[in-house]
C-alpha cells in the first residue's frame, strides 16, 4: 500500500523499514508467482498496472478482513 501512496520504491521501502532491493525482490516474486506485471515504472515513479488495479480490489478486501479479525481477537483477549 505504501508503494501506491508514495509511488516510489525507495520512499516506500523506507516507510516500511526494509531495503529498496528487498522491496523490489518481493514485488518481482509476486509478479512471477502470478504471471503478470503488477506495477509500471514511469521514470522514477511507480503506478499500478492494469492487472495490479484489478487485484487491488481483492487486496483491499483481504486487508479489511484481516483488520477485523485483529480487532475481534483483541476483544476476545480483554474479555478473559
Domains assigned to the chain: 2-79 (1.10.10.10)
Mean pLDDT of all residues in 41-52? 86
Mean pLDDT of all residues in 33-39? 94
Q: How confident is the model at residue 42, as a pLDDT?
A: 83
Identify the band that residue 74 occupies on the pLDDT scale cut at 50, 70 and 90. confident
C-alpha pair distances (Å), 51 with each of 10, 21, 55, 67, 72: 22, 23, 6, 24, 32
Mean pLDDT of all residues in 46-72? 92
pTM: 0.69
Burial degree of 48 (CB within 10 A; 0-12, 13-18, 19+): middle
Q: How confident is the model at residue 63, as a pLDDT?
A: 92
Amino acid at each position: 500500500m505504501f508503494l501506491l501512496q508514495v509511488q516510489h520504491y525507495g520512499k516506500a521501502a523506507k516507510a516500511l523499514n526494509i531495503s529498496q532491493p528487498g522491496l523490489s525482490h518481493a514485488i518481482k516474486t509476486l509478479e512471477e508467482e502470478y504471471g503478470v506485471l503488477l506495477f509500471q515504472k514511469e521514470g522514477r515513479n511507480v503506478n499500478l498496472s492494469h492487472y495490479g488495479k484489478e487485484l487491488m480490489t481483492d487486496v483491499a478486501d483481504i486487508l479489511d478482513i484481516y483488520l477485523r479479525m485483529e480487532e475481534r481477537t483483541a476483544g476476545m483477549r480483554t474479555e478473559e
